[in-house]
Structure 1
Amino acid sequence: MSQLDQSGAVPAAAENAAPAVSLSGERVLRVIVPLVMLAALVGLWAWYVQAYNIPKYILPSPALVAQSLVNDWPILGAALLVTLKITFAALAIALVGGVVLAVLLVQSKWIELAISPYMVILQVTPIVAIAPLILIYAPSTQVALLVCAWIVAFFPVLSNTTQGLKSTDHNLLNLFELYGASPLQTLFLLKLPAALPYFLAGLRIAGGLALIAAVVAEFAAGSAGAGSGLAFRLLESQYRLNIPRLFAALLLLCATGVAIYGATSLISHLMLRRWHESAIRREN
């Protein structure tokens, strides 16, 4: 039976079949292509080590790294847990504090004029430079690490949320004023929903920065012992020339960063997919 009906038009089912197949194929390619690239890089790495007989204390093979990851998991897993606790605690505080302060900055021009310059100074100052001072005044090393990670993760949330609150459509603001909406109604029903895409963009940035800051702060603090994180295990492996464990710890950090970015991107997609232009697929 021909796909053309009596009027010569293509039925809707046949018209929608091609885009559906194309969309499905695109999703498969998004998974397959990075995996193929990863397999090629690992294969090239293994070939290079074997072909040129590279010593393991210079460049271990992928098999040695995997073996170290399994054998040293009790040590690396505990260190990863410490780093994750600092990362997620700092991120949670940064999200709450960033949103609250952004609302205050937008609601009051005087608060914005008083606080904004110091927020910028705090952000542009390298965390390695102020970490020693934080270590002096913090009650413990863990608190110092948490403060360092929070400082780095805080500004992207504050900056993006503030920009989102300021980017509310002026016509909608005038409409709310015309209908006599209170400042709280305007904030919760208009400004915060409008700022949601900006906040989620800040969340994606802050998630990765919190992990980076936790590692950098631990490098600066030089913390050691049973309660130390992955940063110390990296340094320890370097000092002992245990390069396979160093690569395994680095692999864990990379995988954690990718997982955090993937989780925050998924949250953003789920919250925006039904209404925001950034998450809706174009129809043409």
Structure 2
Amino acid sequence: MSNVMNSPAARFAAPVLLGVLMLAAWQLLVRALEVPVYLVPAPTDIAYTLYEDWALLSSSLMITLKITFFAFVLAVVLGVLAAFLFVQSRMMEVSLFPYAIVLQVTPIVAIAPLIIIWVKSPIPAMVICATLVALFPIISNTILGLRSVNPGLLNLFRLNQATRWQTLRRLRVPSALPYFFGGLRISSGLALIGAVVAEFVAGTGGTSAGLAYQILQAGFQLNVPRLFASLVLITLTGIALFSLMALFTKMALGGWHESEMTQ
């Protein structure tokens, strides 16, 4: 039984089947109890709204995806550079890492209004907000990976008089890859969350209207099916990002690291 459940087909089918059963129960309960659509819409109402409002929702989805993508890329680049600097210089780590922690523990909703005021253009301001949310997992995971090297191998490199660059490239970076890809999976979801939160705070419409703006408008108009439809798109986007990062991890580590090798 355990071998069957470990197969890729079972891992995909089990959550899908559970989701179908939950949607069926939701549909039956809403219809049986005659719950008004402005309180809790049925799954069929949400699906119909997705179809009817697809042009509006898809354009908003593209805005949210653009903010998420740029924020994620910036978080990866800045996080990796910071991690390399911190590992190479203990003084820089001691001096700067506490500020990275400060950014992590400060609620983005508290500083997002300031960023939006200081940065006049809404899209760059929201990208900065989302980047701040997604940055810390990259820094912390990469630092942990760069430091989690085998002491025996590190001594071997020192005995052979390897340079700091050779040690970094041939030992520390390969050892850090599993931690780095773990950070990517976390950061990708946080970039999406940061983008949505920034959109809520900015509240911009027009060409800068993302899915969060559609949720706000739907709430004001009591258009609950559209609100749920926007939530569905955000959720599916988050699942897609996590799955994409998991695929990248499998491609990069599947052939040599035990965490991704087929059991």
TM-score category of the 2 structures, normalised to the smaller one:
over 0.9
2:115 paired residue among 131, 134, 138: 134
**Partner Cα separation in structure 2 for residue 90 and residue 202 of structure 1:** 14
Kindly indicate whether residue 128 of structure 2 is the aligned counterpart of residue 147 of structure 1.
yes
1:42 paired residue among 15, 18, 23: 23
Cα deviation 1:21-40 (Å, max 9, x = unaligned): x4697322212211211111
Kindly indicate whether residue 248 of structure 2 is the aligned counterpart of residue 273 of structure 1.
no
The 5 A counterparts of 1:1-284 are 22=3, 26-282=7-263
Instruction: Please say if residues 4 and 10 of structure 2, whose CA atoms lie closer than 8 Å, have aligned partners that are also in contact.
Output: no
Q: Which structure 1 segments of 5+ residues have no match?
A: 1-17
The secondary structure found in structure 1 opposite 2:35 is coil
Identity %: 45
The secondary structure found in structure 1 opposite 2:206 is coil
Shift of 1:44: 0.7
Give the ranges of 4+ consecutive aligned residues of structure 1 lying more than 2 Å apart after TM superposition: 22-28
**Partner Cα separation in structure 2 for residue 178 and residue 254 of structure 1:** 51
Between structure 1 and structure 2, the one with the greater Rg is 1
**Partner Cα separation in structure 2 for residue 107 and residue 133 of structure 1:** 33
Shift of 1:281: 3.9
Cα deviation 1:126-177 (Å, max 9, x = unaligned): 0000111111211311111000000011100000000111111121111112
The secondary structure found in structure 2 opposite 1:226 is helix
What is the match of residue 8 of structure 1?
none
Cα deviation 1:112-135 (Å, max 9, x = unaligned): 111011111111000000111111
Instruction: Please say if residues 122 and 208 of structure 2, whose CA atoms lie closer than 8 Å, have aligned partners that are also in contact.
Output: no
Cα deviation 1:245-267 (Å, max 9, x = unaligned): 11111100010000001110111
Report how many aligned residue pairs link the two structures.
263
The secondary structure found in structure 1 opposite 2:180 is helix
Structure 2 letter corresponding to 1:49: V
Q: Which structure 2 segments of 5+ residues have no match?
A: none
Structure 2 letter corresponding to 1:171: G
